[in-house]
Amino acid sequence: MKQRLWASLVFAMVLSACNNTVPSADPAVLSSKTQNRNEKGDDKKKEDDHSENDKDENKTQFLNDISIEPKGGVEVYRTFLSFESGDLVPSSNVTSLGKPVFLNLNITKGWKEDEGTVSLGASERISSDNGTVFLDEPDLFQNYNSISAEDAKFIRLKAVVNSKTGPIKYFVVDFKVWDKNGDGVITGSYKFYVE
């Protein structure tokens, strides 16, 4: 499964939405992946492998203690944290200063399509355990009028802390992704720790 995630992230096409008002954070990246499946071969074992893989894809996976609430018909089948390299963030959710953490949302369905495109918005708020707000961005995707419906199935939001002062135990990321043309919404949050 890890190899499958790695392959998916390696082939990801990345579009980024930058926030120039907050120099310590480049908050969001919208990404898509291409699926590379080998459907050739008459070998019975290959058919069995495909059916096992399909079963794995139907399981919901919420890793890294991410709290998530989809509404309006949106179905999320996998959510996890990764580093820029594509490696999974350990379950402890620990990173280091200046090393970004990416929230990955893999969606089955729920966005309203118009001629194969959708229009999404995404907000992100990063705060510390003591209440200090480091980022509060109302729409990270405001510069995107529409994206392909296939790309909208794979959302990545970036969180990074470049400096911290005082005793901070952890950071909280509150996020929301919504359909600007429909009822679909995903809200949630997660904590991460900086060494």
User: What is the tally of helices (H) and strands (E) in the chain?
Assistant: 2, 14
- Determine contact, residues 122/28, Cβ cutoff 8 Å: yes
Quick one: pLDDT at residue 17? 31
d(CA 81, CA 84): 10
Instruction: Name the one residue in this structure whose structure tokens are 């996998």.
Output: 78
CATH fold label, 2-194: Immunoglobulin-like (2.60.40)
The angle at the Cα of 58, spanning 110 to 183, to the nearest 5 degrees, equals 10
Residue-by-residue pLDDT tens, the chain, 195 positions = 333 333 333 223 222 333 322 323 333 333 333 223 233 333 433 334 433 444 444 567 999 999 999 999 999 999 999 999 999 999 999 999 999 999 999 999 999 999 999 999 999 999 999 999 999 999 999 998 899 999 999 999 999 999 888 899 999 999 999 999 999 999 999 999 998
DSSP 114: B
Quick one: pLDDT at residue 37? 29
Quick one: pLDDT at residue 65? 97
Quick one: pLDDT at residue 36? 30
Amino acid at 50: H
Quick one: pLDDT at residue 165? 80
d(CA 110, CA 75): 6
How do the domains of the chain map onto residue ranges?
A: 2-194
d(CA 147, CA 17): 13
* Predicted TM-score of the model (pTM): 0.71
d(CA 152, CA 85): 21
d(CA 92, CA 64): 7
d(CA 84, CA 67): 21
| Residue 121 phi, psi (nearest 5) | -125, 155
